[in-house]
């Protein structure tokens, strides 16, 4: 071998490592353990062409055109002429319905996960009519297509200056304990409403299931249906590890989305694979754009800052990059689960900016020996102030609290 | 967590069983020039290996069988015990990272001991190779996993490495270890959202480019090693020499991240390991188990979008850092040529298995729902070729890093004389 051929050989080897002849489009052969494939499917599931030819798309709440769509929920045709729409989270949303042609037709629509206090309107632009609220999170109505005009379903939620959000994570093997938490939330919602400080949403930061099985998700749906306000979800590692079926997305819709409710903007990130998709990382400035909201939350399953809990991202480089985006966007609170415990990291220095992260993996998953600490985090918003505190929901057979407040995080007053 | 515990138990139990399997007995013995590899050592018989048959001072006796059985047992206790503790205490154990480190390190030690048993039987346990593979003095490395996604690119990482050594005396030395690295181009990722697909695009697929990354970095450390007297105790079981190690180190990455239409952001991530301590156990003259563990501090700094000036962060406590390695020397030119002629070069190889308890480099080993707990697994094969009588040797290596997919790496380097040679 001549010496001159050695560098050529090395360059060829380097080129060979960076290019392949056997490439294919992202997720052409789906692997739903890959976060990019879940990005694709959560967007696919946010639109549907019904059997009768009606194109239904979740839209940005401010959208006027139907050229695109967003992963703002889940659309299913449950029977010919009947569609079920699950809105991803609290706050404003929009859905466009483009009929197949001029011929008059109709479609039965069920909207799930909508705040009972929300104002929902239906109809072509300029001819909207309000859909009355039955006092639950479900609205059922008929959409009539009198002509070829696009029908819009839009919703907004009027808010007082004081309101609350609840946050928890990690249900896994113990949905019965989660039901106890839901009952506590039902009681709190009524009390909070009476105090003029409504509870406007429950955020669950992943690990709804233990084994990513369809039946586990199906068992949870009626429990979520009992919650008297919208539930925003994102998957955890236990929800996505069966690569052949996107069971989480098929049941609950997207894991990567943002919503604004009252004065808070929330970015939900699917970190089930121990990292987020690169395409989602590229959208972080957009997802974290608080608009006019006074508060900004970032929610995901794996805590981007794990301390020495042992429960972090599988890609620490991307965790650091995500923390950078949170710091740059001036996120008020990072919320996570994964660790079946309650942790508060109040001062994480990222580029000189102090971030606060609370891990609240207390929705029912096994916490090992000893009396577990179950419950949820309550975030009380009042103008510019946001006050977090923990509501403990003890397991059956236990009177009184199982744990003590953390040094930097109090238990809520009874 | 339950799966992690089950994994620990399922790995640990077979290892313990294997540890107590009685090996085929070979002659315990002193290697000779005619028979330099006297086969595997008897489990309970000391093997007195001469490092150099011509040397007057022989190498101290080692019992590789019991040493490996002890390593196997310790790894099983550590790994399975830690997994059990994690499972039993659950996340009530707020500081669970040490246990996770023990699970990964214990599994590696056990796997190393098992491979060591096989290697000892097949290739022999001694004598120690006089010119065994160590870190090259200067070298280049290339690492990459490529991509199979249309429209994406994943260029390899090129690194320049160095590791000159200074011997203080026969027992202690310091090695300056360093690496400067950078991606050979920009890594690019597409946005798979179907509503963004551009059917008019041709050549690179219809999914638009969403994310790009360029990267450079360096690592710098001092690796100090001090051999303990051997045997440490008069009635020692002769389980092999040990060294204590201290390796303060810093690793730095600067990345230029193209975030879609939002702009470019510079992110710096620095990992500081000021108290990284470890030990090396020579379980046989040709096999070593090495581990390091220490606290880690991270510093994260960043720029505004499309900005150049960085907002500097302060050190924050990060997950524990740890490494565990099992090295096996393989003599490739031990026997003289059949014709009796001398070989033109002496060639030695080394097989290394490693577990690094850090996902700083972006790789972590996941299985099933166990995601985000463990670091990457390394497997490396390195060969040193030293022409007869030459002061400089060439060293070539290849390996794989398993975690979030895998990366194949290759190294080539030169082994120069030590800055200060080891006194005889």
- Asked whether residue A273 falls in the same domain as residue A358, the answer is yes
Q: Taking CA B172 as the corner, what is the angle to CA B166 and CA B176, rounded to the nearest 5 degrees?
A: 35
In order of A19, A117, B147, B394, B399, the CA distances from A13 in angstroms are 10, 63, 15, 20, 15
Higher per-residue pLDDT: B30 or A296: A296
B403: which chain A residues are within 8 Å (Cβ-Cβ)?
314
Q: Please name the member of B260, B363, B371 whose beta carbon is closest to the beta carbon of A282.
A: B260
Is the per-residue pLDDT at A319 higher than 70? yes
Residue B156 has pLDDT above 90, yes or no: yes
Chain B residues close to A13, C-beta within 8 Å = 142, 410
Residue of A nearest to B184 (CA): A14
End-to-end CA distance of chain A: 82
**Residues 6+ positions from B22 with CB-CB distance below 8 Å:** B43
Residues 192-251, chain B: which have Cβ within 8 Å of A?
192-195, 205-207, 210-211
| B195 vs A68, A278, A317: nearest CB | A68
pLDDT (mean) for B315-323: 95
Give the pLDDT score at B337. 75
Q: Any bridge partners for residue A154, and if so which? A: A94, A121
Q: Indicate the length of chain B as a whole number.
A: 424
Per the structure block, which two tokens stand in for B32? 């000779």
Supply the pLDDT for residue B342.
79
pLDDT at site A298: 98
State how far the alpha carbon of B396 is from the alpha carbons of A135, B2, B157, in Å: 72, 41, 17
> Is A272 in Cβ contact with B371 (below 8 Å)?
yes
Q: According to the model, what pLDDT value does residue A104 have?
A: 76
Task: Considering only the beta carbons, identify the residue of A316, A325, A343 that sits closest to B359.
Answer: A316
On whether residue A185 sits in a domain, the answer given is yes
Cβ atoms within 10 Å, residue A385: 10
Residue B200 has a pLDDT of: 62
Q: pLDDT tens digit string along B396-417?
A: 999 999 998 889 999 999 999 9
Tell me how far the alpha carbon of residue A1 is from its chain's centroid. 59
Average pLDDT value for chain B: 84
CB < 8 Å from B in window 223-242 of A? 237-238, 241
Residue B155: alpha-carbon gap to chain centroid:
23
Same domain flag for A237 and A144: no
Give domain status of residue A5, yes or no: no
Q: A37-51, A307-321, B225-239, B375-389: lowest mean pLDDT where? A: B225-239
**Pairwise pLDDT comparison (A276 vs B234), residue with the higher score:** A276
Residues 6+ apart with CB under 8 A from B101: B82, B293, B320, B322, B357
Contact A368 B262 (CB under 8 A): no
Nearest CA in chain A to B86: A368
User: Is residue B60 pLDDT above 90, yes or no?
Assistant: no
Q: Residue A46: give its domain's CATH number.
A: 2.60.40
Residue contact B142–A13, C-beta within 8 A? yes
Q: What is the DSSP string of A157-177?
A: ----SEEEEEEE---TT-HHH
- Strands A231-233 and A199-204 come out as parallel
Q: Which residue has the higher pLDDT, B422 or A63?
A: A63
Q: Is B242 helix (H, G, I), strand (E, B) or coil?
A: strand
Helix (H) or strand (E) holding A147: none
Reported as a single tens digit per residue, the pLDDT across B330-340 is 999 877 777 77
- Set of chain A residues whose Cβ sits within 8 Å of the Cβ of B147: 18, 20, 23
Strands A295-300 and A264-269: parallel
Q: Of the candidates B88, B94, B148, which has its C-beta nearest A309's C-beta?
A: B94
Interface test with A, best of B85, B143, B160, B192 (most A CBs within 10 A): B192
* Cross-chain residue pair A352–B190, CB shorter than 8 Å: no
Q: Which of A6, A10, A16, A17 to mutate to test the interface with B (most CBs of B within 10 A)?
A: A17
| Residues 6+ positions from A407 with CB-CB distance below 8 Å | A344
pLDDT digits (tens, 9 = 90+) for B275-285: 999 999 999 98
Judgement on whether residues A166 and A227 belong to the same structural domain of the protein:
yes
Alpha-carbon gap, residue B261 to B239, rounded angstroms: 61
- State which fold the B2-415 domain adopts: Lipocalin (2.40.128)
A326: which residues sit within 8 A by CB, 6+ positions away? A288, A298, A304, A334, A350, A355
% of chain A exceeding 90 in pLDDT: 83
Please give, rounded to a whole number of angstroms, the shortest distance from the CA of B153 to a CA of chain A: 6
Which range, of A150-159, A172-181, A186-195, A394-403, averages the lowest pLDDT?
A394-403
Q: Which of A18, A205, A322 to mutate to test the interface with B (most CBs of B within 10 A)?
A: A18
Instruction: Tell me which residues of chain A, numbers 343 to 372, contact chain B at a CB-CB cutoff of 8 Å.
Output: 343, 348-353, 361, 366-370, 372
CATH number of A272's domain: 3.60.21.10
The rounded distance, in Å, linking the Cα atoms of A295 and B172 is: 58
Closest by Cβ to B142, choosing from A14, A321, A372: A14
- A115 with A188, same domain: the answer is no
Q: Is A174 on the interface with B (CB under 8 A)?
A: no
Nearest CA distance, B152 vs chain A (angstrom): 9
Residue B84 forms contact with A (CB below 8 Å): no
The verdict on A261 and A316 lying in the same domain is yes
B309 and chain A in contact, CB less than 8 A: no
Q: What distance in Å separates the CA atoms of residue A110 and residue A183, rounded to the nearest whole number?
A: 25
* Out of B92, B150, B372, closest to residue A274 by CB: B372
Residue range B143-168: mean pLDDT, rounded: 92
- Over range B386-404, report the average pLDDT: 94
End position of a domain, from candidates A140, A156, A172: A156
Question: Which residue ranges make up each domain of chain B?
Answer: 2-415
Task: Quickly count: other Cβ atoms within 10 Å of residue B17's Cβ.
Answer: 11
**Chain A (371-400) residues lying within 8 Å, Cβ to Cβ, of chain B:** 372
Q: Give a yes or no: residue A143 inside a domain.
A: yes
Residue B161, pLDDT > 90, answer yes
* Whole-number pLDDT of residue B201: 58
| Residue B332 at interface with chain A, using a CB cutoff of 8 Å | no
Q: Is the pLDDT of residue B42 over 70?
A: no
Inter-chain touch A314–B305, beta carbons under 8 Å: no
Structural domain contains residue A88: yes
Please state the rounded mean pLDDT for residues B40-57: 45
Provide long-range contacts, Cβ within 8 A and 24+ apart, for A57-61: A57/A95, A57/A96, A57/A98, A58/A85, A58/A88, A58/A93, A58/A94, A58/A95, A59/A94, A59/A95, A59/A96, A59/A152, A60/A94, A61/A91, A61/A92, A61/A93, A61/A94, A61/A154, A61/A156
User: Does the CB of B94 have a partner CB in chain A at under 8 Å?
Assistant: yes
Omega into B298 within 30° of 0, i.e. cis? Answer: no
Q: What pLDDT score does B296 carry?
A: 96
Q: Tell which A residues from 140 to 169 touch B, by Cβ distance under 8 Å.
A: none
> Does the residue A293 lie in any domain?
yes
Alpha-carbon distance of B92 to A371, in angstroms, equals 10
Look at A64 and B202; give whichever has higher pLDDT.
A64
Give the tokens for residue B311. 């907002």
| B144 to chain A, closest Cα gap in Å | 6
Structure tokens at B323: 């490494």
Averaged pLDDT for residues B129-150 = 92
> Does one domain contain both A304 and A379?
yes
Which of A333-342, B67-76, B118-127 shows the lowest per-residue confidence on average (mean pLDDT)?
Answer: B118-127
Of B96, B257, B359, the CB nearest to A315: B359
Mark yes or no for CB contact A40/B194 under 8 Å. yes
The model's pLDDT over A24-75, given as tens digits with 9 standing for 90+, comes to 888 999 999 999 999 999 999 999 999 999 999 999 999 999 999 999 999 9
Q: Report pLDDT for A310.
A: 85
B165 in Cβ contact with B173 (< 8 Å) = yes
Does residue A175 sit in the same domain as residue A72? no
Strands A82-87 and A105-112: parallel
Give the domain extent around A151.
Answer: 35-156
Give residue B5's pLDDT. 52
Q: Which of A47, A279, A324 is nearest residue B300 as measured by Cβ atoms?
A: A324
Q: Is A256 on the interface with B (CB under 8 A)?
A: no
Q: Is A52 on the interface with B (CB under 8 A)?
A: no
Partner-chain contact B305 A13, CB within 8 Å: no
| Most confidently predicted of A65-69, A230-234, A396-400 | A230-234
Residues of chain B neighbouring A343 (CB-CB closer than 8 A): 94
DSSP B40-64: SPPTTS-EE--SSTTSSSPPPEE-H
Residue of chain B with shortest Cα separation from A371: B92
- % of chain B surpassing 90 pLDDT: 58
d(Cα B238, Cα B233) in Å, to the nearest integer? 9
The count of domains in chain A is 2
Domain-embedded: residue A414 = no
Contact B88, B65 (CB under 8 A): no
State the smallest CA–CA distance between residue A262 and chain B in angstroms: 26
C-beta separation of B218 from B179 below 8 A: yes
| A179 and A136 together in one domain | no
Give residues 141 to 200 of B whose Cβ lies within 8 Å of A: 142, 144-156, 158, 184-185, 189-195
Q: Is A408 contained in some domain?
A: no
B322-348 in b/e form (b: 16+ CB < 10 A) is bbbbbbbbbbeebeeeeeeeeeeebbb
Distance from CA of B115 to the nearest CA of A (A): 28
pLDDT tens for residues B324-366?
999 999 999 877 777 777 788 999 999 999 999 999 999 999 9
A148 and A196 assigned to the same domain: no
| The predicted structure's pLDDT at residue A404 | 83
Say if CB B106 and CB B78 are below 8 A apart.
yes
- B143 CA: distance to closest CA in chain A (Å): 8
Q: Output the average pLDDT for chain A.
A: 92
User: What's the pLDDT at B343?
Assistant: 83
Residue A266 is encoded by which pair of tokens? 């929330």
- Residue whose entry in the numeric block shows the structure tokens 């009027």: A158
Among A86, A60, A61, residue whose Cα is nearest residue A231: A86
Interchain contact, B90 vs A286, CB within 8 Å: no
Closest CA in chain B for residue A327 = B302
Residue A326 placed within a domain: yes
Structure tokens that stand for B106 in this block:
């214990």
What separation in angstroms does the CA of B176 have from each of A340, B293, B394? 42, 19, 19
Closest-CA distance, B380 to chain A, in angstroms, reads 18
Of A13, A71, A317, the CB nearest to B253: A317
Last residue of a domain, one of A121, A138, A156: A156
pLDDT score recorded for residue B125: 84
Which range is most confident: A7-16, A263-272, B32-41, B231-240? A263-272
The more confidently predicted of residues B3 and B424 is: B424
Residue of B nearest to A323 (CA): B300
Partners of A302 on chain B (C-beta within 8 Å) are: 371-372
B209 beta partners: B190
Strands B277-284 and B242-246: antiparallel
Which of A263, A260, A234, A231 has the alpha carbon at shortest distance from A249?
A: A234
Q: What pLDDT does residue B22 have?
A: 39
Which of B184, B191, B301 is the closest to A279 by Cβ? B191
Q: Given A156, A182, A199, which residue is the final one in a domain?
A: A156
Whether residues A67 and A149 fall in one domain: yes
Per-residue tokens: A75 = 């659309």
Judged by DSSP in three states, B389 sits in coil
In three-state form (DSSP H/G/I as H, E/B as E, the rest C), the secondary structure along B116-173 is HHHHHHHHCCCCCCCCCCCCCCEEEEEEECCCCECCCECCCEEEEEECCEEECCCCEE
User: What's residue A9's pLDDT?
Assistant: 52
In this structure, the answer to whether residues A109 and A246 fall within a common structural domain is no
* Start-to-end Cα distance in chain B: 52
Around Cβ B406, how many Cβ atoms within 10 Å? 13
* Residues A359 and A231 reside in one and the same domain: yes
Rounded Cα–Cα distance for residues B147 and A122 (Å): 46
The confidence score (pLDDT) of residue B121 equals 85
**For the stretch A20-51, what's the b/e string if a residue is b when 16 or more beta carbons lie within 10 angstroms of its beta carbon?**
eeebebbbeebebbbbbbbbbbbbbbbbbebe
Please report the DSSP string for A245-310 in residue order. --HHHHHH--SSEEEEETTEEEEEE--TTSS--HHHHHTHHHHT--TT-SEEEEEESS-S--TTSS
């Amino acid at each position: 071998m001549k010496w001159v051929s050695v560098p050529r050989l090395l360059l060829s080897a380097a080129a060979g490592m960076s290019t392949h002849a056997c490439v294919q489009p992202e997720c052409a052969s789906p692997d739903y353990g890959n976060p990019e494939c879940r990005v694709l499917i959560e967007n696919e599931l946010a639109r549907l062409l019904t059997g009768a030819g009606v194109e239904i798309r979740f839209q940005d709440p401010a959208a006027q055109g139907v050229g695109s769509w967003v992963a703002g929920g889940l659309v299913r045709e449950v029977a010919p002429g009947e569609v079920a729409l699950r809105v991803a989270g609290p706050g404003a949303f929009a859905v466009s319905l483009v009929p197949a042609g001029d011929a008059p037709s109709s479609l039965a629509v069920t909207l799930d996960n909508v705040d009972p206090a929300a104002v929902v309107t239906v109809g072509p632009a300029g001819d909207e009519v309000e859909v009355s609220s039955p006092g639950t999170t479900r609205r059922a109505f008929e959409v009539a297509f009198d002509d070829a005009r696009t029908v819009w379903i839009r919703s907004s939620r009027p808010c007082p200056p004081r309101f609350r959000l609840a946050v928890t994570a990690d249900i896994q093997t113990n949905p019965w304990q989660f039901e106890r938490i839901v009952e506590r939330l039902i009681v709190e919602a009524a009390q909070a409403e009476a105090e003029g400080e409504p509870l406007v949403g429950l955020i669950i930061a992943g690990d709804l299931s233990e084994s990513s099985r369809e039946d586990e998700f199906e068992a949870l749906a009626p429990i979520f249906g009992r919650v008297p306000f919208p539930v925003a979800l994102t998957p955890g590692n236990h929800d996505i590890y069966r690569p052949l079926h996107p069971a989480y997305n098929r049941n609950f819709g997207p894991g990567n989305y943002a919503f604004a409710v009252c004065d808070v903007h929330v970015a939900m990130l699917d970190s089930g694979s121990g990292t987020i998709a690169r395409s989602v990382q590229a959208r972080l400035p957009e997802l974290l754009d608080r608009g006019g909201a006074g508060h900004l939350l970032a929610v995901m399953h794996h805590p981007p800052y794990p301390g020495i809990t042992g429960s972090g991202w599988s890609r620490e480089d991307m965790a650091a990059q995500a923390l950078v985006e949170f710091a740059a966007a001036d996120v008020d609170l990072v919320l996570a689960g994964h660790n079946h415990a309650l942790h508060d990291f109040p001062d994480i220095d990222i580029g000189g900016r102090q971030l606060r992260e609370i891990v609240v993996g207390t929705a029912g998953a096994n916490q090992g020996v000893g009396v577990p600490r179950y419950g949820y985090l309550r975030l009380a918003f009042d103008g510019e102030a946001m006050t977090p505190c923990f509501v403990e929901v003890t397991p059956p057979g236990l009177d009184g609290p199982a744990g003590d407040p953390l040094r930097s995080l109090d238990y809520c007053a009874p | 967590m339950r799966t992690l515990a089950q994994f620990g138990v399922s790995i640990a139990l077979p290892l313990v069983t294997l540890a107590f399997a009685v090996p085929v007995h070979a002659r315990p013995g002193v290697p000779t020039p005619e028979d330099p590899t006297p086969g595997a050592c008897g489990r309970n018989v000391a093997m007195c290996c001469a490092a150099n048959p011509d040397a007057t001072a022989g190498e101290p006796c080692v019992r590789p069988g019991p040493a490996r059985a002890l390593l196997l047992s310790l790894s099983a206790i550590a790994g399975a015990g830690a997994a059990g503790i994690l499972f039993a205490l659950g996340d009530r154990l707020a500081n669970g990272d040490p246990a996770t480190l023990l699970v990964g390190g214990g599994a590696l030690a056990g796997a190393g001991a098992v491979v060591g048993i096989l290697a000892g039987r097949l290739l022999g346990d001694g004598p120690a190779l006089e010119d065994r593979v160590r870190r090259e003095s200067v070298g280049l490395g290339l690492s990459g996993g490529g991509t199979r996604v249309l429209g994406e690119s994943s260029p390899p990482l090129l690194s320049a490495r160095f590791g000159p050594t200074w011997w203080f005396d026969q027992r202690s030395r310091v090695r300056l270890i360093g690496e400067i690295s950078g991606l050979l181009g920009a890594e690019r990722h597409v946005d798979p959202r179907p509503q963004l697909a551009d059917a008019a695009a041709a050549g690179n697929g219809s999914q638009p480019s969403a994310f790009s990354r360029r990267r450079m970095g360096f690592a710098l450390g001092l690796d100090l090693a001090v051999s303990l007297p051997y045997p440490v105790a008069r009635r020692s079981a002769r389980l092999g020499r040990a060294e204590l190690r201290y390796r303060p180190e810093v690793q730095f990455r600067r990345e230029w991240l193209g975030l879609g239409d939002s702009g470019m952001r510079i992110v710096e991530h620095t990992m500081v390991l000021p108290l990284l301590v470890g030990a090396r156990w020579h379980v046989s003259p040709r096999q070593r188990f090495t581990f390091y563990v220490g606290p880690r501090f991270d510093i994260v700094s960043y720029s505004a979008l499309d900005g150049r000036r960085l907002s500097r962060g302060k050190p924050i406590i990060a997950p524990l850092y740890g490494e565990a390695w099992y090295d096996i020397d393989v003599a490739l030119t031990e026997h003289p040529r059949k014709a009796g002629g001398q070989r033109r070069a002496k060639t030695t190889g080394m097989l290394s298995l490693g577990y690094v308890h850090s996902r700083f480099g972006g790789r972590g080993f996941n299985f099933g729902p166990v995601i985000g707990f463990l670091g990457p697994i390394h497997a490396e094969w390195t060969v040193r070729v030293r022409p007869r009588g030459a002061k400089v040797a060439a060293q070539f290596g290849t390996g794989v890093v398993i975690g979030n997919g895998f990366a194949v790496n290759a190294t080539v380097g030169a082994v120069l004389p030590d800055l200060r040679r080891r006194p005889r």
